[in-house]
C-alpha cells in the first residue's frame, strides 16, 4: 500500500485489457512483414492477438479469462511445443514488442518497464525451451504465472 491506496496490478497500471488488446493487435499486424518472425507465425489464428492479450492480462493480475477460455498455462506451453524457436527469433520478438509498447504509449516509468521486460525475457526464454525437441509434455496442473512489481519475493508469484 502506498498513501493508503492499494498498489495497482501491472495490468491496471498499463491501462487494462483494452490497452493490451490494442498492443497485441498492433504487434501481430507487424509480424507478417517481419522477415524473422513471419515464418514463425505463418497461418496464425485470426484471434491470436486477442488470446495473447488475455494471457498477459491474467499474468499481470487481470481477470482469469485466458485460463477460463483457453486452458491456462499448460495450453500456452503446448502452443509452443515442437516449433523449435531460436534465440534470434526470441530476441526479434522482444525488440518488435518493445517497439510496439512505445508506439502504443504504455507507461514508460522505470518500475513498470523493469517488470514488463523481466516478464518478456522470462516468458520468451520459457517459450524457446518448451519449443525444442524433447521438451516433454506440459504439466496440466501448471499454475498460471503471476507477475508483479518485483522484490520482495521476486516477480514470480504463482
Helix (H), strand (E), coil (C) string for the chain: CECCECCCCHHHHHCHHHHHHHHHHHHHHHHHHCCCCCCCCCCCCCCHHHHHHHHHHHHCCCCCHHHHHHCHHHHHHHHHCCCCCCHHHHHHHHHHHHHHHHHCCCCCCHHHHHHHHHHHHHHHHHHHHHHCCCCCCCCCCCCCCCECCCCCCCCECC
Domain 10-131 maps to which CATH number in 3.40.50.300, 3.90.1720.10, 1.20.1250.20, 1.10.490.10? 1.10.490.10
Query: What does the pLDDT look like over 139-152, one tens digit per residue?
Result: 888 888 999 997 64
pTM (predicted TM-score): 0.89
Break the chain into its structural domains and give their ranges: 10-131
pLDDT at res. 72? 85
Low-confidence ranges of the chain (pLDDT < 50): 1, 152, 154-155
pLDDT at res. 151? 60
List of residues 6+ apart from 126 with CB closer than 8 A: 77
C-alpha–C-alpha distance, residues 51 and 47, integer Å: 6
List of residues 6+ apart from 26 with CB closer than 8 A: 100, 103, 104
pLDDT at res. 62? 95
pLDDT at res. 17? 95
pLDDT at res. 2? 56
pLDDT at res. 1? 45
Amino acid at each position: 500500500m502506498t498513501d493508503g491506496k492499494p498498489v495497482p496490478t501491472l495490468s491496471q497500471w498499463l491501462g487494462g485489457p483494452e490497452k493490451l488488446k490494442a498492443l497485441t493487435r498492433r504487434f501481430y499486424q507487424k509480424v507478417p512483414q517481419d522477415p524473422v518472425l513471419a515464418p514463425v507465425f505463418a497461418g496464425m489464428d485470426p484471434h491470436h492477438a486477442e488470446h495473447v492479450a488475455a494471457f498477459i492480462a491474467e499474468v499481470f493480475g487481470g481477470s482469469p479469462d485466458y485460463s477460463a477460455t483457453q486452458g491456462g498455462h499448460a495450453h500456452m506451453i503446448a502452443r509452443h511445443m515442437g516449433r523449435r524457436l531460436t534465440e534470434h527469433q526470441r530476441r526479434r520478438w522482444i525488440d518488435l514488442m518493445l517497439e510496439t509498447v512505445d508506439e502504443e504509449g504504455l507507461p514508460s516509468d522505470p518500475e513498470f518497464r523493469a517488470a514488463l521486460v523481466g516478464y518478456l525475457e522470462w516468458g520468451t526464454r520459457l517459450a524457446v525451451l518448451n519449443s525444442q525437441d524433447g521438451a516433454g509434455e506440459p504439466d496440466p496442473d501448471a499454475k498460471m504465472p503471476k507477475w508483479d512489481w518485483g522484490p520482495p519475493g521476486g516477480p514470480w508469484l504463482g
